[in-house]
């Protein structure tokens, strides 16, 4: 997490997989590479997650760095398969162009992430093409998604906690917006809360997923209803995407946190806006100015929102570039009717554990694409931790 080694692009010839002979490699099932497979200096040690557009492995960096990493492989399920020689091939030639577009987008996403440096933005150490597909190497983030941490009562956020989280995420978003790059997939599943210091990390630009989804005309693949603003539903004049698109999604995440419910989809709101304002749901638990800023950021029409993260930051009174310290668990209980899991057990239970199909803790993909095993213990009393 704290290393500052240079991110590089490796040539594909040095990363042809070396498959362990016989029983030395344990099959992880499906199209996943077996345990023990070598990709250059990286040795696969487990499966973190397997979703519709990729596979994420736990791996060991055998270079002098000797660190644990996550390797994401582009592997769109239903469109591609792996041969005995580990080459990834398209199942049908009719899908070949869509696969190539997705692969190109995956590599471009890796290149973008490799060029950014923000403590709350997922980092890419290396990326390369090979074996008919592409790979990116990322830090192994030990934690759980924001959605899971809320569901498991690991955080019950008060305004102080929310402001600290938003300050970190605003830093990350401004980093990418300066390069005219927009996330367009901000949601509770794409924000990880790190076990080490409680810092939020923004995950998964989903670039390959958007390209493949567009090619197959599948909106359900590329949008998260409730978190996607209206301009993401159609490419029409006056509905351009930009910084204001991420502003809406970030505000929708805050609305989800304070209400326990996903906001109404933007397409429903533009017909008849029946969304209960944040200023009503959060009254008495959060300041009026804070809630007013969230309501404006959630405006259905793009021109009525804050047009930049800087404007949102000013409205929230967040200082740019200040050291980010995540406070301990907040003390503002959410309403018992919250839909996180239908249970009113707000922060009253012992340490929580979520388990799933893969071995190892933490993950770098959302749980909708990831069945990783994650363990977490609520922090003991200790001094504030710096991100």
**241-256 pLDDT per residue, tens:** 899 999 999 999 999 9
Nearest to 309 by CA among 236, 237, 248, 228: 248
* pLDDT reported for residue 128: 96
Question: In angstroms, what is the C-alpha Rg of the chain?
Answer: 21
Regions of the chain where pLDDT drops below 70: 1-29, 206-222, 235-238, 321-387
Asked whether the beta carbons of 170 and 178 are under 8 A apart, the reply is no
pLDDT, tens only, 212-234: 666 665 544 467 899 999 999 87
> pLDDT tens-digit profile of 308-334?
999 999 999 997 755 556 665 444 444
Find the DSSP H helices in the chain. Answer: 96-115, 146-151, 159-177, 207-215, 219-222, 243-259, 266-271, 278-281, 288-297, 309-316
pLDDT at 130: 93
Helix (H, G, I), strand (E, B) or coil at 342: coil
Average pLDDT value over all residues in the chain: 78
pLDDT of the residue at 165: 96
- Residue 203: what pLDDT? 86
The CA angle 97-101-106, to the nearest 5 degrees, is: 145
**CA neighbor of 32 nearest in space, from 354, 355, 356, 357:** 357
- Give the pLDDT of residue 304: 96
Under DSSP, the state recorded for 327 is: -
Supply 80's token pair. 């591609």
CB 180 within 8 A of CB 241: no
In the prediction, which pLDDT does 324 show?
59
Q: Which residue, 238, 122, 250, 98, is CA-closest to 185?
A: 250
Q: With residue 272 as reference, give the H or E element that holds it.
A: none
pLDDT score recorded for residue 219? 46
pLDDT the model gives residue 31: 82
At residue 210, the pLDDT reads 60
Q: pLDDT at position 108, please?
A: 87
Question: What pLDDT, on a 0 to 100 scale, did the predictor assign at position 378?
Answer: 31
Determine the pLDDT at residue 284. Answer: 96
Q: What long-range pairs does 276-280 form, CB within 8 A, spacing at least 24?
A: 278/254
pLDDT at 333: 42
Burial classification of residue 31, based on how many CB atoms lie within 10 Å of its CB (0-12 exposed, 13-18 middle, 19 or more buried): middle
User: Do the beta carbons of residue 281 and residue 259 sit within 8 Å?
Assistant: yes
10 Å CB burial of residue 216 (0-12, 13-18, 19+) is middle
């Amino acid at each position: 997490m704290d290393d500052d080694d240079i991110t590089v692009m490796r040539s594909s010839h040095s990363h042809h997989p070396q498959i362990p002979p016989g029983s030395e490699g344990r099959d992880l099932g499906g199209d996943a590479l077996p345990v023990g497979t070598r990709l250059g200096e990286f040795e696969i040690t487990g499966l973190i997650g397997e979703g519709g557009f990729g596979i994420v492995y736990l791996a060991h960096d055998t270079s002098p760095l000797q660190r644990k990493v996550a390797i994401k492989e582009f592997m769109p399920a239903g469109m591609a398969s792996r041969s005995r020689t580990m080459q990834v091939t398209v199942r049908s030639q009719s899908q070949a162009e869509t696969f190539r577009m997705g692969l190109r987008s995956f590599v471009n996403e890796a290149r973008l992430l490799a060029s950014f440096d923000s403590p709350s933005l997922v980092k890419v150490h290396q990326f390369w093409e090979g074996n008919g597909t592409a790979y990116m190497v990322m830090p192994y983030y030990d934690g759980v998604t924001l959605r899971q941490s809320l569901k498991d009562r690991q955080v019950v956020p008060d305004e102080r906690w929310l402001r600290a989280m938003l300050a970190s995420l605003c830093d990350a978003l401004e980093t990418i917006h300066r390069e005219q790059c927009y996330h367009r997939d901000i949601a509770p599943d794409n924000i990880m809360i790190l076990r080490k210091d409680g810092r939020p990390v923004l995950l998964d630009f989903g670039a390959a997923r958007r390209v493949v989804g567009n090619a197959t005309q599948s909106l359900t693949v590329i949008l998260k209803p409730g978190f996607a603003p209206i301009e993401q539903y159609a490419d029409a004049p006056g509905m351009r995407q930009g910084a204001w698109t991420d502003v809406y999604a970030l505000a929708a995440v805050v609305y989800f946190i304070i209400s326990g419910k996903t906001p109404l989809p933007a397409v429903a709101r533009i017909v008849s806006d029946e969304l209960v304002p944040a200023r009503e749901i959060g009254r008495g638990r959060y300041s009026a100015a804070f809630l007013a800023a969230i309501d404006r950021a959630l405006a259905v029409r793009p021109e009525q929102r804050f047009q930049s993260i800087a404007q949102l930051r000013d409205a929230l009174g967040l200082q740019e570039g200040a050291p980010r310290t995540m406070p301990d668990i907040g003390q503002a209980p959410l309403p018992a009717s919250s839909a996180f899991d239908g249970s009113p057990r707000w922060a009253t239970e012992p340490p929580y554990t979520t388990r799933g199909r893969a071995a190892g803790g933490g993950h770098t993909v959302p749980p909708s694409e990831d069945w990783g095993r994650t363990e977490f213990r609520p922090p003991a009393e200790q001094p504030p931790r710096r991100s």
